[in-house]
Structure 1
Amino acid sequence: MKIEGTGLEAKEATLLELDHATEELGFVRWAWDYSKATYDLKYDDRQTKERYYLRVPAESIKGQVHDDGHRDSMLKLGTPYIGRYTHPHGMDYEYDFPKHILDHAKKVLSTLSSSI
């Protein structure tokens, strides 16, 4: 499920700025290659035992996404989205997500938007 209207869409930041801002909010730069990255925030719902991932995609517009030596690379953010983890099949992005998870996700995304 896409989460629109967060203020993150098309925002630009250096890799260093984005890594720092997301890490402070509990995100991990999980999936990345030289031209793009995805920042993930994991939710474990204690009531339902479901696991969700809030994801913020980023694409390199200058430089490469790397762990070393490319911290000034410029990234452009895409529309955040959330999915439910479905072992062993992957992710379900069309799930009816719980309100408390979506509310928290929107709050975190608003905080992230304000910090970069």
Structure 2
Amino acid sequence: MANVFLCHRKPDAARVARLAGELRNAGHDVWLDEWKIGIGDSIVAEIDKGLSGANYLVLCYSAAGPSDWTDREWHSTLHRQLSGHPVKILPARLSGGGPPAILADIKYADLVADWAKGVQDLLRAIR
């Protein structure tokens, strides 16, 4: 199955943990900061390992808006994708807001309108 990195803001942690569980239950290896970064670990090094091994980055955006951390995560993934690496960004709307302008033309999973359908849409995109 696929390696999936979940890019999100802390205010969305509960929804993202629910999404991570559903993706993991479907058989995917999910990188979620709360699961992968332990006490004493280098946060930057662990994020870098997660991003380097990801086949997919699920960019969870919401009414909380962007953050420096999430911007760095998806920017670096977009650079890898445009450089020919086999990684894909999958936007997912968690609670409102809109995608970054450069990703506005990419279809997103809408977890606000219908959680179950949004998860199924993500699972179909993750191969």
Q: TM-score, normalised by structure 1?
A: 0.32
Which gives a bigger RCO, structure 1 or 2 (Cα 8 Å, sep 6+)?
A: 1
| Rg comparison, structure with higher value | 1
Greater share of residues in helix: 2
Q: Which has the higher strand share?
A: 1
TM-score, normalised to structure 2, is 0.30
